[in-house]
Amino acid sequence: MELREQVTVQILLSLCRLLMVIVMVTTVSFSMHSTSPQFDNQTSHYTPINLFSPSGIYKILPIATYANIFHHSIPGLSMPVGDKTKLSLIFRAVFIVMAVGYGLIGMTVAAYFGENIQGSSNLNWHDYRAGTGTCTENCDDDNDNDKVWDGRSWWVNVIVWFVVLFPALDVASAFPLNGITLGNCLMGKYYGEDIRKHEGDRRKVTVFRILAAVPPIIGATAVRQLDTITEYTGLTGYIICFVFPGLLHINSEKECKRRGVEERTIYGGFLTRTKGMPIAVAVFGGFLLVYTLANLFGE
């Protein structure tokens, strides 16, 4: 389906994502101040853990960078927007909502679960019971972590199923968006200036989108640990966010000078107008790539 055909579905999923953040943050915040354990095998207070550890920077950097990659999709994602003058406001709002959502989930979940956190944090909700149910094993043990509970309330099961399963369904829904944008880029690169003659051919468009979509699916069958996947695929984020934009800017300026065209446009900003900044950005991305790889291989 084209992007315009997915508008209703994507809006619904966006609302579900917002609900997901609210549910995760609310349940964890309530659990922190509850007198009884809200999760199986998890005490009802803060887990002693440093919320910031310099030794873990190499793990969070590629994930954080990859989470903020969207610039290559702007042309495609902007197409369904009727009033293009609102695009700047829309993307700013997205950045703010995304930063607040990621921040709230990251801080509350890390503070509560500590080292017990799963590679995909939503999986911790598999053991959520909100103080409902009955103890079936080790009930006389003073250690809450040894007790086994059963018989959660129906509304707790609704929360559990939603938090545990929705991210997987959400990724499945977002996957076509990535397939469309990457497929379009591959098609544009292949046909070059003749792209207009071929982009209306549904068969050709489908072929390039299959080329974009199939390799990740094959890779997912080989490696299923999300934290491992994000650690290494996130490395491409450095290249996409820093190295490529810097090199593209440099080559764009050279091409403009060769054609006698003014390289400064209304789309420029502080980074593009500062001399030497494109090179600095590309070098910075290369440094992050080497730094992260060295630490990953040194584990």
pLDDT tens per residue across span 65-115: 877 777 767 777 787 788 888 888 888 888 898 889 888 998 888 888 887
Q: Which of residues 47 and 293 earns the better pLDDT score?
A: 293
Q: Which structure tokens are listed for 28? A: 């964890």
Confidence at 149, pLDDT banded by 50, 70, 90: low
Q: Which residue carries 């943050």 as its tokens?
A: 25
The percentage of the chain sitting over the pLDDT mark of 70, rounded to a whole number, equals 90
Average pLDDT over residues 181-189: 86
Residue 134, SS3 per DSSP? strand
Residue type, 284: F
What are the extents of the domains in the chain? 3-233, 234-299
pLDDT tens per residue across span 19-60: 999 999 999 988 888 877 788 766 656 666 676 778 888 888
Task: List C-alpha distances in Å: 152 to 22, 82, 145, 149.
Answer: 21, 47, 17, 8
Confidence at 284, pLDDT banded by 50, 70, 90: very high
The overall average pLDDT reported for the chain is 82
Helix residue ranges, H only, the chain: 7-32, 57-67, 74-78, 87-113, 154-191, 195-198, 202-222, 226-233, 235-238, 244-259, 270-273, 277-297
Confidence at 162, pLDDT banded by 50, 70, 90: very high
